[in-house]
Amino acid sequence: MAPNLPASVNGGTIATESQVEPLPETTTLPPTRSVPAIAHPTPEDAFGVAANIKYHAQYTPHFSPFKFDPEQAFYSTAESVRDTLIQRWNDTYAHFHKIDPKQTYYISMEYLQGRALTNAIGNLNLTDAYAGALSKLGHGLEIIMEQERDAALGNGGLGRLASCFLDSLATLNLPAWGYGLRYKYGLFAQRITKKGQEEYAEDWLEKFSPWEIVRHDVVYPIRFFGKVQAESDGSRKWVGGEVMQALAYDVPIPGYMTKNTISLRIWEAKAPPQDFDLYSFNSGEHEKAAILQSKANQICAVLYPGDATEDGKLLRLKQQYLLCSASLQDIIARFKERRPKHAIKWTDFPNKVAVQMNDTHPTLAIPELMRILMDEEGLGWDEAWAITGSTVAYTNHTVLPEALEKWSQVVMAKLLPRHMEIIAEIDKQFCQMVKSSRPDLVSKLEQMRVLDSNPHKPLVRMAHLCVVSSHTVNGVAELHSDILKRELFSDFCSLWPNKFQNKTNGVTPRRWLCFCSPELSAIITKWLQTDKWVTNLDLLAGLRQFADDEQLHKEWEAAKFANKVRLAEYLLKVTGVKVDPTSLFDTQVKRIHEYKRQFLNILGVIYRYKKMKEMGPEERKGVVPRVVMFGGKAFATYAQAKRIVKLVTDVGSVVNNDPDIGNLLKVVFVPNYNVTAAELIIPASELSQHISTAGMEASGTSNMKFALNGCLIIGTLDGANVEIREEIGNQNFFLFGVQADDVPRCREERMAGHFTPDPRFEEAKQMIRSKTFGDFDYEPLLDSLEGNSGYGRGDYFLVGVDFPSYIEAQKEIDIAYKDRRRWNHSSILSTAGSGKFSSDRTISQYATDIWNIQECRVP
């Protein structure tokens, strides 16, 4: 018997049971005729939510009618949530338009959003309502959440940081907007086979994304190639070439427990319809007819296309320019929209607009803003330069030479001739300024210039262009910012000491603790007697007073174990490896790169395995069982990184099937590591490895996520590890390795041959050479430790130098893990000390110190 129904919900008429048309006998819909199909954009209870979900299932159909399988239920559920988000987005945009506050525009090549459903209903405080609604419709919320695919708009920490920042901007009610690109196939989907890593196109848009809203009225022209034409009045105009279009898609980003909902606006490249050559098509020249559309499709096909060829370089620059040009045109259109045409004062632009360039990928925003102001709006150079310099700011994320982008002047001039002129003028004026104001730096000018004057390979130094043109340059951890000022940009820092700042990264506590680890979150709320820590992470410090409480230890360990059981089930599903959740879960998940030293980790695992094989059965009883997990993608053309992936999988194949070892050691490579996998791995991990060569990791944010979830860290004094160790206590961090100041000396000694390898290091290498782990040729990888690395310097990442202290730190971990009281105490203090590492704190500092923006709460 159906329950009695209310007469109305929020004033809307509800159909009674007798009015609901019966479904055919063939339907797979659950027997819930008590739930009518009613459009209800902002439901707040389970019944209203269920009615709106059912409305979308019937009247916004994407599948055959009368089906309500989990996949169909997910899309209907997502569209129901999107209704609420659109309403809040509309209210937010209208409020910003009315108030006209200064607004931040965050431009990033990557956004690693992860699944949106959990985050959205959590931020909207509708999780219980949606769980109840789906139950009425015959589905569990967890099953429906599993149907969602991660958006393939990013790859690693850079993109995940950008997504955390958007969450915090919305939660803090700050007027802001994110800009990115709509990649059809992402970076790649990773499969792990006997060959190691194999790459396939991501299929996140195989059907469609229910979260994005196409804005057919937001389209901007994007020009490539062509020439620069001098006008009669002395101005310069860029004409000819290829003209494509950038079409906007909006992804609403809700704040936590607030109406404010901002936007991630992503751009898709399109060819104008009139560029389809109907005559050629009807003449049988089908490919020629749509050649511009084909070129447009290439631009947003994949993230970071290979750039070994000139065509590859042109494609990457096209991506970066499309992102910058479309975004700047949109920003300027919004600036104009909010004031009468006759009252536009361009000098007011920096008072209303802050542009943040997330690393060097958006550098072309600088010459593009100059071009628009001068060529389209008629401003002179000096005025345009003053406006640009007061508007743009630059975040540096790396000290790696290959990541500090340098583009061929020839390629730049070919693709963007007007921009090359503007960059050349910026370089010229910078040189003149240095010569007139700092004669002591003239001898260093060739290294400081924006344009590298090498006649054989002239380059544009994008990082230098950012530093010269921006009002603020920031690093992302205290150590990293010190290195920028002391080494990478030292001469610029002497020129503009007040330009450089530090903004230590952070992560959103909503996704990375509250939503991904509900058991642990409930325990934290219980012991702190408040849930306000979700938006004020400093309150976690209150856990310190309970760090020795046995009852908290018991509850804490139970929550961690529940997460470990979930992860064990996931690992069995995606890898086929069965792991024991009573083992120590040891994790290194991040982009595969030599400087992040997954190679050091697996060499340590090999040494551990060798020692265990040498033990007798009785001696092995004292070994701490361990599951060592790796995850991350090696760039498709990065051969050495792919060899590391192959080695990990080969070691796993041997170790996991060794009857002598059993459950004492398992080695698992988690395929296609992404945000969804991280949401399972991070809460379940007990030890996490952040073991980069000191001075090479800008910050890291996964280290913050692990520490926040009570996971202990083994790491070097690199990036944010330094600050994490200070906050959680030295005794709760397993430190090893040389420090950043000693790295140059160690490298020089290594190159000079003044290095005696530890016997344990040699044992691990020899075990690989003995073919214990198969016949794959690992000599190029082993050679990188001997003097034949791709960097031209033997063991540049100091794997051999740090190996002995790494092994000693691992011994200390085994001792600590056996002492459950000690381990739980440290785990609690790790969470308690994580307050500093909230992206809310980071964004508040950006807002005050760099952007000068204020809260603009939707009433």
Give me the long-range contacts of 619-623 (CB less than 8 A, separation at least 24). 620/660, 620/664, 623/664, 623/814
Strands 261-270 and 242-254: antiparallel
Q: Are 105 and 369 in contact (CB under 8 A)?
A: no
Task: Say what the alpha-carbon torsion angle 125, 129, 134, 136 is, to the nearest 10 degrees.
Answer: 180
Smallest Cα–Cα separation from 559: which of 686, 432, 668, 652?
Answer: 686
Q: 270, 596, 608, 633: which is the annotated catalytic residue? A: 596
Cα–Cα distance between 260 and 568 in angstroms, integer?
38
Q: Are 364 and 320 in contact (CB under 8 A)?
A: yes
Smallest Cα–Cα separation from 93: which of 1, 257, 215?
Answer: 215
What phi, psi does 198 have (nearest 5°)? -125, 145
Other residues' Cβ atoms within 10 Å of the Cβ of residue 484? 25
Q: Are 180 and 249 in contact (CB under 8 A)?
A: no
Residue carrying the six token digits 């009281």: 821
Other residues' Cβ atoms within 10 Å of the Cβ of residue 657? 9
What phi, psi does 460 have (nearest 5°)? -105, 120
> Using H for helix, E for strand and C for coil, what is the string for 75-113?
HHHHHHHHHHHHHHHHHHHHHHHHHCCCEEEEECCCCCC
How far is the CA of 70 from the CAs of 61, 583, 800, 830, in angstroms?
Answer: 14, 34, 51, 38
The reply to whether 590 belongs to the active site is: yes
Q: 258, 701, 716, 831: which is the annotated catalytic residue? A: 701
Q: Are 705 and 685 in contact (CB under 8 A)?
A: no
Q: 40, 160, 591, 593: which is the annotated catalytic residue? A: 591
Q: Are 514 and 495 in contact (CB under 8 A)?
A: no
DSSP H or E stretch at residue 447: helix 445-448
Cα–Cα distance between 828 and 156 in angstroms, integer?
27
Q: Are 816 and 735 in contact (CB under 8 A)?
A: no
Smallest Cα–Cα separation from 619: which of 659, 658, 578, 660?
Answer: 660
How far is the CA of 177 from the CAs of 180, 254, 256, 841, in angstroms?
Answer: 10, 12, 16, 18
The reply to whether 633 belongs to the active site is: no
Residue carrying the six token digits 């011994």: 811
With vertex at residue 522, the alpha carbon angle to CA 516 and CA 523, rounded to the nearest 5 degrees, is 115
Tokens of 105: 């525009």
The reply to whether 705 belongs to the active site is: yes
Q: Are 503 and 846 in contact (CB under 8 A)?
A: yes
The reply to whether 456 belongs to the active site is: no
Q: Are 375 and 421 in contact (CB under 8 A)?
A: no
The reply to whether 822 belongs to the active site is: no
Q: Are 466 and 363 in contact (CB under 8 A)?
A: yes
Residue carrying the six token digits 């309403």: 87
Q: Are 448 and 492 in contact (CB under 8 A)?
A: yes
Q: 397, 419, 485, 503: which is the annotated catalytic residue? A: 397
Smallest Cα–Cα separation from 245: which of 278, 214, 220, 281?
Answer: 220
The reply to whether 848 belongs to the active site is: no
Other residues' Cβ atoms within 10 Å of the Cβ of residue 630? 27
* Letter string b/e over residues 353-369, b meaning 16 or more CB atoms within 10 A of that residue's CB: bbbbbbbbbbbbbbbbb
Catalytic machinery residues: 397, 590-591, 596, 701, 705
